[in-house]
Structure 1
Amino acid sequence: MNTAPHHVRIWPTVESIPVSAVTDKPPGHLGPVRAAAPADTVAGAVGTGRDTTGGDAAGHDTHATTGHDIHTTTGHGPNAPTGRPGAPTGRDTRPATGVGTAGAQPRGAGARGNSAAEMGFSGDPEQRGDPGDDMLHAQRIWDGSLAANRLDDAGVTAERQRVAIAEVTASICLIIDGWPEDVWASVESVLEYTDAHVLALDLGDVDGAGEVLHKLALRHPDRITEWRVAETPHWRGGSATWGACRAKLLRLDTSEVHVLMETSIALAGDALTPLVAAVADGAVAAGRRGAEPSPDGTEWHEAGPGPVRALRGDLMAVRRSAAIGALPEDARYGGNADLELSLALKGELVVPSDRLPVRQLRHHDVSPEYRDRESRRNHDNVLRMLSAS
């Protein structure tokens, strides 16, 4: 038997890690699974369905993350609220074109020559506008009130969700395959923002990532369970495959909700509660990012919020009992294997309505030749599943 520093056992392969024979406990605290909607009624428009011109809940810029140019306006248009409290009359009542821009008009197709001047600003950062401009003052009060109400609503919703899932068990499951700095940041973020247990499988201590995991496990023995194997990842020249690793973690887990997470991301807030709440409420799985196929199934586009056809596996919560048997255990690489898992699940898949507080650490790239070959292999399986559905 090999022993790593600090007396942690190293198993020879992923398959050699023993698993209890009783692994599929009934999901006692989860509601019944809702049936998936017909494929032609799911998700609707391509894209996130959110206002992506701003940031996420953690204040990060999210406009470039969708891969689509999405323009969503809030508070304006034919269905926008009218008769704002305190808004003076007798001034220009043309619809506002943006926050704090009452009466401003675009000077070209989709562009404005000097938006600061239109609001009474010179462009000088120290200039505060005309203090006597009642319209501007009323606009600021209105915008501030809306922002406060949204924060209040978000806080109430989050607290209700936490109460609703207080007895639901969930585990966040990680494959450790290198990038030790990201492992540290990712695991620490889970410990900071959630109460979930962490199940982590280290593959070959690539670049010292396994030792980073072990140090964290020693610090937080009540929160982290680690397994280490000598096998290195298939996508980095070894023999441990994505499907075998994910299947082992699934069977080692005893929670009602099994959470797939990649160490290429870190939480910037409680991103877990909305996912677990959606699963407890009837979804078979919920994720940070949804996906919808093109009519011929050859391309997938980001979709959500709401019911979607598939979920991406960088952060995805699934009923553990439903995932056993649905996870593609023969997948050697994770690219598009999350789509295979999604299509094999029986029930509704959803993306929460609010953007989850998650930040990208870095993309964990593999060789382009390997990525393209294995992703294509998985995608061929996805096409077969789509044609059969």
Structure 2
Amino acid sequence: MTDAKPPGHLRPARLEQVAGTSGTGRDTTGGAATGAGTGGAARPAREDGMATGVGTAGAKPQGAHARANPAAELGFSGDPHQRGDPGDSMLHAQRVWDASLATNRLDDAGVNVERQRVETRDVTAAVGLLVDGWPGDVRDCVQSVMDHTDATVLALDLGNIDGAGDVLADLAERYPERITVWHVAEAPHWREGTATWGESRTKLLRLDESDVHVLMDTSIALRGDALTPLVAAIAEGAVAAGWRGMEPSDGRPAGPGRVRALTGELMAVRRSAALGALPEDANYGRNADLELSLGLRGELVVPDGSLPVERLSAHEVSPGYQERESRHNYDGVLRMLHAS
């Protein structure tokens, strides 16, 4: 599969920060927040005489054992509908505060993610999985993508270890329009086979036709729509967005906001950009994700807020193998850091 045409629904990659620059702090795509509270517009007064604003949620209609006009006691104009003086700074501040609270409640109710879904409805995304055993986790991982997102799944079954490939086949039969599986005889390199992380990931990238490719481990599952905020950040101009960020020089966690590297547990990337940056010679995935991050040209971000992601279990490999291959991959990271 070649990248014959640029993704038609993504903005050009940009250099400035996507998350954390402006807005309410809950807007993971950056920029000014939309809706109530952005312009200080006053909400229309209720015709039934109910009071609005902070501390008035339990107010009774006028005439129902309530004071005639509590607004007058607070220095407002005292007219029957409590409209007040448009030039009154106290009233204006109250209305802005009310509107801001309303926006916060909408964000808390998930409206922000729903807005991002609408904005990214034309951006295609696919989740790429390398399946190397742990059939129970594979089922939970793939089912969570089916339950909480509209993304397709592209899975490479490496050797049907412990029957994990059979689990994939069952899921693909249940969701034929959304799950595509390729079964290969080679077991993964980290489980005494010959299939390496770099070449396997590259195959998935080249088989994908989506705008956004999502690297995901079968050791995690989604407990909500964790992909939409990542895709939204990319649609706004980031080259990649992920669940967790890392400082590649010393391994410290990084984010939210702009980061130098992302971990490969859950990482969305512009597919066209990843094709030239993924380290195809990496035998093992640990630290190879950092090398991928450093090879990308553009901005990498971790969205604000906590994404609904759960770690299922630790997929351990031989300690000696892990130490050797992780060290090898990290040497590549250090070379890239020195070169930059």
TM-score by length of 2: 0.74
> Alignment partner for residue 386 of structure 1, among 314, 333, 337?
337
CA distance in 1, matches of 2:55, 2:6: 56
> Alignment partner for residue 153 of structure 1, among 104, 107, 113?
107
CA distance in 2, matches of 1:359, 1:150: 25
Which amino acid is the alignment partner of residue 106 of structure 2? Answer: D
**Following superposition of structure 1 onto structure 2, how do residues 287-326 of structure 1 map, counting pairs within 5 Å?**
287-293=242-248, 297=249, 299-326=250-277
Which amino acid is the alignment partner of residue 236 of structure 2? Answer: D
**Following superposition of structure 1 onto structure 2, how do residues 219-258 of structure 1 map, counting pairs within 5 Å?**
219-258=174-213
Answer yes or no: is the 8 Å Cα contact 1:36–1:347 preserved in 2.
Answer: no
Relative distance call for 1:36 and 1:188 in structure 2 (3 A) is same
Structure 1: unaligned runs, 5 residues or longer: 1-19, 44-49, 51-83, 88-145
Which amino acid is the alignment partner of residue 159 of structure 2? Answer: G
CA distance in 1, matches of 2:203, 2:328: 22
Match of 1:262 in 2: 217
Which amino acid is the alignment partner of residue 261 of structure 2? Answer: A
Match of 1:280 in 2: 235
Answer yes or no: is the 8 Å Cα contact 1:35–1:346 preserved in 2.
Answer: no
Structure 2: unaligned runs, 5 residues or longer: 26-52, 57-99
Relative distance call for 1:311 and 1:27 in structure 2 (3 A) is same
Answer yes or no: is the 8 Å Cα contact 1:36–1:346 preserved in 2.
Answer: no
CA distance in 1, matches of 2:105, 2:11: 28
**Following superposition of structure 1 onto structure 2, how do residues 81-100 of structure 1 map, counting pairs within 5 Å?**
none
CA distance in 2, matches of 1:331, 1:245: 10
**Following superposition of structure 1 onto structure 2, how do residues 18-57 of structure 1 map, counting pairs within 5 Å?**
20=1, 22-35=2-15
Structure of greater Rg: 2
Quote the offset at 1:255 in angstroms: 0.2
Relative distance call for 1:380 and 1:147 in structure 2 (3 A) is farther
> Alignment partner for residue 286 of structure 2, among 319, 325, 335?
335
How big is each residue's C-alpha offset from its partner over 1:87-136, in whole Å with a ceiling of 9 and x where there is no partner? Answer: 9xxxxxxxxxxxxxxxxxxxxxxxxxxxxxxxxxxxxxxxxxxxxxxxxx
CA distance in 1, matches of 2:16, 2:174: 42
- 1:353 equivalent in alignment to 2:323: no
Which amino acid is the alignment partner of residue 32 of structure 1? Answer: P
Match of 1:191 in 2: 146
For the residue of structure 1 that corresponds to 2:338, the secondary structure is helix
How big is each residue's C-alpha offset from its partner over 1:342-388, in whole Å with a ceiling of 9 and x where there is no partner? Answer: 00000000000011000010010001000000000000000010011
TM-score by length of 1: 0.65
> Alignment partner for residue 373 of structure 1, among 297, 303, 324?
324
For the residue of structure 2 that corresponds to 1:340, the secondary structure is helix
CA distance in 1, matches of 2:4, 2:131: 25
Quote the offset at 1:244 in angstroms: 0.5
Which amino acid is the alignment partner of residue 385 of structure 1? Answer: M
> How many residue pairs are counted as aligned between the two chains?
265
Which amino acid is the alignment partner of residue 171 of structure 2? Answer: L
CA distance in 1, matches of 2:175, 2:101: 38
Quote the offset at 1:86 in angstroms: 5.1
CA distance in 1, matches of 2:115, 2:157: 36
Answer yes or no: is the 8 Å Cα contact 1:23–1:253 preserved in 2.
Answer: no
